Each structure stands twice: as structure tokens, then as C-alpha cells.
């Protein structure tokens, strides 16, 4: 069902008032036949209800016949002269009847002249002015329906006058219409003269200006001097402006005049002439050449003998200054970081550990050698005899064995102390502050104490 049937009927009625008929066709059982029928009635057309879709072609043909049949009427129609002042029927006697015509309606414009009408009241011959031309409408034909017109004495004159009126008129006016665009303003100037060359005054000069966008603006030229009429309007759009002026002297129409001007898209297109002086000046300032297009020299176009080489230099100090500033900032930032703290924590600890192990090994070796000498001396004293070669080898082997044991014991002790980290940061700092000599003296002192302890034990 239609949701707004009342509105559809109103729209169909408005369309019918414009001379358009609406025919509605309902297809199927579910179609809103009532609404479609009311729309067809309001639109001045016919309504068809179709259950079988296969019958649609026949319905369409029937609807076309209904629409077309009133547009053409055939039969005998008398011709009546409605406006004897029309130039199309000037000097023509009563025309004979016609056998057919195309149905039409009268135009509502007051400028339309309906010269001939049919006995049925339908227009037959009408004409009106459009722009600079004439439009003529004849609703019959010139041979089949106008069979009786062929032998009519006014037949030749009738068509001759129609052709003369619709043809472009010969411009016999001595007036001139000037249209120019200056500073965004369209200036329209008419210089009117009569046949004798005398300025024509007191004219009414309406004009139609056809804009580039398709619009039309009506203006009236005002008299500003003897035979001179002017008007202006803004030229805001780019494109062609066409002006048609229709001067009149009292009630008499004078030949229309046609003029036009164009507004370029860019300001560089306003002048169509070459500015030779400016081009020569540019060539002089830039060290170039001026070539004559009418006398070209072969190869001179690309010749570079007279051209002065140009050198372009780019200063490097901004780039170097930026790099120097960047390096300076990196250097300052590096100096502010105590890199030795991160390095000495690991490297210094390993160095101190290796030095301590070496000192302790040397101390143990020295103590062992000293003890071996004392034992040998005591043994000589006790026996009262010197050692032989085998005793010497045995003593040397014992000394080496003690050295190895002492070294391994010192190495194990140093590693154990390093793992337990018995040396505090404060003690390490104190040892570093005392210097290498104090550390060496302390090591000797500890070795002497250890040696004296072992000697007392023995």
C-alpha cells in the first residue's frame, strides 16, 4: 500500500496542470489499485489493472495509442486569419482548408503572434522573437495535409515570406556596438548613426548580456553624448560575455547589434601582444641573447660562445658550525661522566688479586729457601761432616717440593680471600693511599713473623 496516497494525487494533479498526462498500470493482486486509479484520474490519464504480466506489451501499446491519438487530427479543417498584421500573411488571400494538423496549445507570452488558427480553435501558424532571430511554428505540413494548398495562388508567397522572416537579416546599420572588459568591469558602448551618418539620439537601447555561467542579465544603455549610449556591469566570471542590443526609436525597432568580450582565466592572458622591450631588458640583465624568429641562425640557438659562465657557491660554515657545536656538547658530556669508576671496579680488583698472589708466593718461596738453608746448617753442625752429592740432590728436591706446596697453598689462600672479599673498600683505599712501598714493607714484616714462628717451632 502507498504510504502517502494524498500527496501522490496532489502531485499528479500539478503535473497534469503542466500539460502532462499520467497513465497508471497495476500489476498483480497485491498492487494498490485504488491509489493508482486515483492518481491516473488526477493526472488526466487512464488506469489499467493487469493480473497476467504477459499482457503488459498489449497494455503498453494501448496506452501509447491513447496518448498519440489526440495529438494528431486528420480531417477537413478550415483556416482562419487571426492576425492580419502579421508579415507572414501580408498580401495573401484566404487559404484553402487543410486535411490534418498536429494538436498544440497557444503560448502565453505576449510577444507571440498567432497569425492563423484552425476552425477547431487550435493554433496553426505562430511566430515570435528569440534573441536576434525569429521562431515560426506551422502545425500542418506542406504536401499531404496541404494537398489543396499546392494549387493555391498564395502557396509560393506564403513559404517565401516565412523563409525571409526566419533567415538572418542583413546588417545594414551604420551603428557600432563596442564591448570591452577593463579592470573587472564589462563596458558596453553603442555609437548609433542613421543612414546619412548623423548621430541617432533619443533611442531606447535595451540589451541582454549572456554570462559565461549561462545566466542572462538585462541592462539598458543610457545616452552620454550625441549618438553615444553606454552601460557597464561587473565581470566576475571568466569566459565569454555576449551582448545583444535592440535599439528602438519610439515604437520602431531598429536592427539589433551583437557584440562580445572575453575574460581570460589568468591575468597573464589579458595582453595578447608580445612585450619585446621587457624581453630585451631581461636578456641584458641576465647576459642572454635576443634571437629573431624571422631570421634564425642555424646552430645559434644552442651556441654558448658568448655566454659568460656563472659560478654558484654555497658556504660551508653553517654545516661546520653545527658539527662543531655537536662535538663540543658530546665532549662536555663525556668529561662529566666518571668512566674510571666503571673500569676500576673490575680491572683494579683483578690486578690487586694477581699482585697479592705473586707477593705471597714469593714470600712463601723465600721462607722455604731460608728454612732449608737453616736445616742444612744444623744438620752439618750435628753430624760434623759435609753433605755428599746425593744429600744435596735430596735437599734440592725437598726444597722444590716445599716451593710447590707453598705456592699452591698461597694460591688457594689468595683465591679464598678474594671470594670472601675480606678486604673492605676502606682498607683497599688505605693501602692505595699508603703507596706500594708500605705494602711491600708490610708483606716483608708478615713473612719475617711467619719465619720466626716456624723457626721457634722447630
Digit-coded pLDDT (tens) for 56-101: 777 777 666 554 445 778 888 899 988 888 888 888 888 899 988 8
pLDDT value of position 17: 86
Q: What angle do CA 28, 67, 53 make, to 5 degrees?
A: 20
Cα-Cα-Cα-Cα torsion 137, 142, 147, 148, nearest 10 degrees, comes to 60
The secondary structure of 317-349 as a DSSP string is HHHHHHHHHHHHHHHHHHHTS-HHHHHHHHHHH
Strands (DSSP E) along 58-144, which ranges? 72-77, 79-81, 98-102, 113-118, 123-130, 133-138
Q: What are phi and psi of 83, to 5 degrees?
A: -135, 100
Question: Is residue 309 a part of any domain in this protein?
Answer: no
Are both 220 and 243 inside the same structural domain?
yes
Question: Is residue 415 a part of any domain in this protein?
Answer: yes
Question: Is residue 276 a part of any domain in this protein?
Answer: no
The secondary structure of 371-399 as a DSSP string is HHHHHHHHHHHHH-S---HHHHHHHHHHH
Question: Is residue 282 a part of any domain in this protein?
Answer: no
Helix (H) or strand (E) run with residue 82 in it: none
Are both 152 and 185 inside the same structural domain?
no
**CATH number for the domain harbouring residue 80:** 3.40.50.880
Are both 67 and 78 inside the same structural domain?
no
Distance CA 247, CA 257 (A): 8
Question: Is residue 171 a part of any domain in this protein?
Answer: no
Instruction: Return all residues near 102 (Cβ < 8 A) that are at least 6 apart.
Output: 71, 72, 139, 140
Domain count, the chain: 4
pLDDT value of position 325: 93
Helix (H) or strand (E) run with residue 191 in it: strand 185-191
Are both 358 and 451 inside the same structural domain?
yes
pLDDT value of position 3: 66
Question: Is residue 319 a part of any domain in this protein?
Answer: no
Question: Is residue 255 a part of any domain in this protein?
Answer: yes
Are both 192 and 217 inside the same structural domain?
yes
Distance CA 174, CA 155 (A): 36
User: Which of 269, 285, 310 lies at the terminal end of a domain, its last residue?
Assistant: 269
Are both 42 and 93 inside the same structural domain?
no
Are both 359 and 435 inside the same structural domain?
yes
Q: In the structure grid, which three cell numbers stand for residue 259, read together?
A: 557584440
Contact between 191 and 223 (Cβ < 8 Å): no
pLDDT value of position 273: 75
Question: Is residue 334 a part of any domain in this protein?
Answer: no
User: Which of 128, 148, 166 lies at the terminal end of a domain, its last residue?
Assistant: 166
- Looking only at the bridges linking them, the beta strands covering 44-50 and 252-253 are unpaired
**CATH number for the domain harbouring residue 264:** 2.60.40.10
pLDDT value of position 366: 65
For the chain, list residues with pLDDT below 70.
Answer: 1-4, 62-70, 131-132, 168-173, 266-272, 295-307, 338-352, 355, 359-389, 391-392, 395, 407, 410-411, 414-458
User: Which of 131, 147, 166 lies at the terminal end of a domain, its last residue?
Assistant: 166
- Domain containing residue 216: 176-269
Are both 79 and 61 inside the same structural domain?
no
Are both 59 and 121 inside the same structural domain?
no
pLDDT value of position 1: 58
Are both 118 and 146 inside the same structural domain?
yes
Are both 107 and 149 inside the same structural domain?
yes
Question: Helix H segments across 69-106?
Answer: none
Amino acid at each position: 500500500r502507498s504510504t502517502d496516497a494524498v500527496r501522490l494525487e496532489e502531485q499528479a494533479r500539478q503535473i497534469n496542470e503542466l500539460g502532462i498526462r499520467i497513465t497508471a498500470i497495476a500489476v498483480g493482486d497485491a498492487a494498490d489499485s485504488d491509489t493508482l486509479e486515483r492518481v491516473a484520474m488526477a493526472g488526466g490519464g487512464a488506469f489499467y489493472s493487469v493480473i497476467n504480466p504477459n499482457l503488459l506489451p498489449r497494455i503498453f501499446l494501448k496506452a501509447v495509442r491513447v496518448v498519440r491519438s489526440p495529438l494528431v487530427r486528420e480531417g477537413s479543417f478550415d483556416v482562419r486569419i487571426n492576425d492580419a498584421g502579421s508579415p507572414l500573411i501580408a498580401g495573401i488571400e484566404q487559404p484553402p482548408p487543410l486535411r490534418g494538423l498536429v494538436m498544440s496549445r497557444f503560448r502565453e507570452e505576449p510577444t507571440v503572434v498567432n497569425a492563423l488558427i484552425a476552425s477547431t480553435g487550435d493554433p496553426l501558424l505562430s511566430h515570435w522573437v528569440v534573441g536576434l532571430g525569429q521562431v515560426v511554428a506551422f502545425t500542418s505540413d506542406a504536401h499531404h495535409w496541404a494537398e489543396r494548398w499546392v494549387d493555391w495562388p498564395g502557396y509560393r508567397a506564403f513559404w517565401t515570406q516565412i523563409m525571409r522572416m526566419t533567415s538572418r537579416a542583413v546588417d545594414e546599420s551604420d551603428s557600432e556596438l563596442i564591448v570591452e572588459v577593463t579592470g573587472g568591469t564589462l563596458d558596453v558602448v553603442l555609437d548609433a548613426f542613421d543612414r546619412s551618418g548623423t548621430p541617432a539620439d533619443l533611442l531606447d537601447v535595451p540589451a541582454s548580456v549572456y554570462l559565461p555561467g549561462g545566466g542572462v542579465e538585462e541592462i539598458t544603455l543610457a545616452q552620454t553624448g550625441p549618438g553615444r549610449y553606454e552601460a557597464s556591469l561587473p565581470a566576475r566570471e571568466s569566459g565569454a560575455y555576449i551582448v545583444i542590443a535592440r535599439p528602438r526609436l519610439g515604437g520602431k525597432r531598429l536592427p539589433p547589434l551583437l557584440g562580445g568580450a572575453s575574460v581570460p582565466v589568468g591575468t597573464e592572458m589579458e595582453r595578447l601582444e608580445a612585450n619585446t622591450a621587457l624581453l630585451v631588458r631581461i636578456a641584458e640583465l641576465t647576459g642572454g641573447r635576443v634571437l629573431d624568429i624571422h631570421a634564425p641562425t642555424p646552430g645559434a640557438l644552442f651556441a654558448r660562445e658568448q655566454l659568460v659562465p656563472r659560478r654558484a657557491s654555497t658556504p660551508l660554515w653553517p654545516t661546520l658550525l653545527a658539527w662543531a657545536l655537536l662535538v663540543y656538547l658530546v665532549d662536555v658530556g663525556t668529561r662529566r661522566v666518571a668512566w674510571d669508576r666503571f673500569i676500576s671496579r673490575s680491572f683494579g680488583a683483578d690486578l690487586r688479586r694477581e699482585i697479592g698472589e705473586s707477593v705471597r708466593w714469593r714470600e712463601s718461596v723465600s721462607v722455604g729457601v731460608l728454612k732449608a738453608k737453616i736445616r742444612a746448617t744444623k744438620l752439618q753442625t750435628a753430624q760434623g761432616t759435609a753433605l755428599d752429592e746425593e744429600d744435596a740432590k735430596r735437599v734440592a728436591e725437598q726444597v722444590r717440593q716445599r716451593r710447590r706446596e707453598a705456592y699452591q697453598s698461597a694460591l688457594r689462600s689468595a683465591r679464598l680471600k678474594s671470594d670472601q672479599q675480606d678486604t673492605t673498600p676502606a682498607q683497599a683505599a688505605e693501602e692505595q693511599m699508603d703507596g706500594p712501598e708500605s705494602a711491600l714493607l708490610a708483606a716483608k714484616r708478615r713473612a719475617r713473623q711467619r719465619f720466626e714462628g716456624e723457626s721457634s717451632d722447630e
